[in-house]
Amino acid sequence: MTTPNDPANRFPKGDHNRRLALGMEPQAFALEAGVTPEALHEYETTSPDHDFDVYVADLVGAALERLEANPPTSQKVLNQ
C-alpha cells in the first residue's frame, strides 16, 4: 500500500489497522511518526464523515511507509 499523494485522502481507520499490523503500541508509533500520542489517537479514531488534521495524517502515512518497508521486530508474521 502506498501513501496517497494528498494526505487529505488518507483513511484514519485504515492507518490504525496498518499500525496494528506492525505490532506497535500507540506511544511507540507516535514517537516514530513525530506526533503526540494524543494526536495519533485523535487521528486514528476520526469518523469517516469527519475532518482530520492533514499534517498528522502526512506524518503518520510517512511513518507507516517507512516502517512497512523495514518492519520493526514487534511485527509478527504468522504463516498457516
**pLDDT value for 8:** 87
Tens of pLDDT, residues 10-48: 999 999 999 999 999 999 999 999 999 999 999 999 999
Integer CA distances (angstroms), 50 to 1, 8, 9, 42, 79, in order: 23, 11, 12, 11, 37
What is the pTM (predicted TM-score) of this model?
A: 0.85
Pick the CATH number of 7-69 from 1.10.10, 1.10.760, 1.10.260, 1.10.287: 1.10.260
Per-domain residue ranges of the chain: 7-69
pLDDT digits (tens, 9 = 90+) for 55-74: 999 999 999 999 998 887 77
CA-to-CA separations, 11 to 65, 67, 78, in angstroms, rounded:
14, 18, 26
